[in-house]
């Protein structure tokens, strides 16, 4: 079923790819994109708005704006952090720091949780609707064979738990809603740039390809699969 009202939070490589792919698929749908910075080139086809992830009122206002005309059929949370100039995934316990944990958890876990707080109640209740947030395979505890990347792994595991809990609560009032996590694979973006040297060329995806594959996954989901996390190829990522 074609989504009529779409909200995308985050305009990085994957967020932008989502907006372009959805615009191509559903040219008559309303698409609102929320991010910390407005794009240099703005188009009337996709409405871009500023959002302040440090401001609760800004998140609330974004949700109200996105649903002002119609309830939301699709919400995609494409925010996240893996590294910065001064922050790198930890290789060992001796590299752990409270500051890095706070930074990574705030962006990867707390921000998506607060977005869910304001956007989930506004999902369409008269048809199937979807809330999906970018997670990661490394957030799977059972799949962890290498260790390391403590803060990032933990932040994504925590996000997956929030998705699960939110899906249970939402289902009580909106039986058709689907709340899931999405693993995009390794995407050629600033987030993965320092870690691409060991990735096979056929496993390094363009943002456009990753967005296309994840949207195909979403198209095939039912409300019975809410609360789970799925990879770009449709496989379920176990907790």
Domains in the chain (CATH in brackets) are 5-237 (3.40.50.720)
Residue 199's pLDDT is 61
For the chain, the straight-line distance linking the first and the last C-alpha, in angstroms and rounded, comes to 29
Angle between helices 150-171 and 111-119 in degrees, nearest 10: 10
Tens-digit pLDDT profile for residues 171-222 = 999 999 999 999 999 988 766 656 656 666 677 899 999 999 999 999 999 9
What are residue 75's DSSP bridge partners?
A: 7, 131
Exposed, middle or buried: residue 96 (CB in 10 Å: 0-12, 13-18, 19+)?
exposed
pLDDT of res. 201: 60
Q: Are 107 and 50 in contact (CB under 8 A)?
A: no
129 contact partners, CB below 8 Å, separation of at least 6: 3, 71, 72, 73, 74, 123, 174, 176, 177, 178
Give the C-alpha separation, 81 to 222, whole Å: 29
Helix (H) or strand (E) holding 131: strand 129-134
Side-chain half-sphere of 66: how many Cα atoms within 13 Å? 34
Kindly report the average pLDDT of the chain as a whole number: 93
Predicted confidence (pLDDT) per residue in 15-50, tens digit: 999 999 999 999 999 999 999 998 766 666 899 999
Q: Residue range 64-85: average pLDDT?
A: 95
Of 136, 125, 187, the C-alpha closest to 159 is: 136
């Amino acid at each position: 079923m074609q989504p009529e009202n779409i909200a995308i939070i985050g305009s990085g490589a994957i967020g932008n790819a989502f907006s372009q792919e959805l615009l191509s698929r559903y040219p008559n749908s309303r698409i609102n994109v929320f991010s910390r910075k407005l794009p240099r080139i703005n188009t009337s086809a996709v409405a871009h708005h500023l959002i302040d992830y440090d401001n609760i009122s800004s998140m609330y206002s974004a949700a109200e704006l996105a649903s002002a005309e119609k309830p939301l059929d699709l919400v995609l949370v494409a925010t996240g952090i893996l590294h910065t100039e001064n922050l790198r995934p930890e290789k060992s316990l001796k590299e752990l720091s409270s500051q890095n944990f706070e930074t990574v958890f705030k962006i990867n876990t707390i921000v998506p949780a607060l977005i869910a707080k304001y956007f989930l109640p506004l999902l369409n209740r008269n048809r199937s609707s979807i809330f999906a947030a970018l997670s990661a395979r490394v957030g799977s505890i059972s799949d962890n064979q290498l260790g390391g990347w403590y803060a990032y792994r933990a932040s994504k595991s925590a996000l997956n738990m929030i998705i699960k809990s939110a899906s249970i609560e939402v289902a009580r009032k909106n039986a058709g809603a689907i709340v899931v996590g999405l693993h995009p694979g390794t995407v050629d973006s600033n987030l993965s740039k320092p870690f691409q040297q060991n990735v096979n060329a056929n496993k390094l995806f363009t943002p456009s390809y990753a967005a296309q594959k994840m949207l195909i996954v979403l198209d095939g989901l039912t409300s019975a699969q809410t609360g789970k996390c799925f990879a770009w190829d449709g496989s379920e990522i176990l907790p």
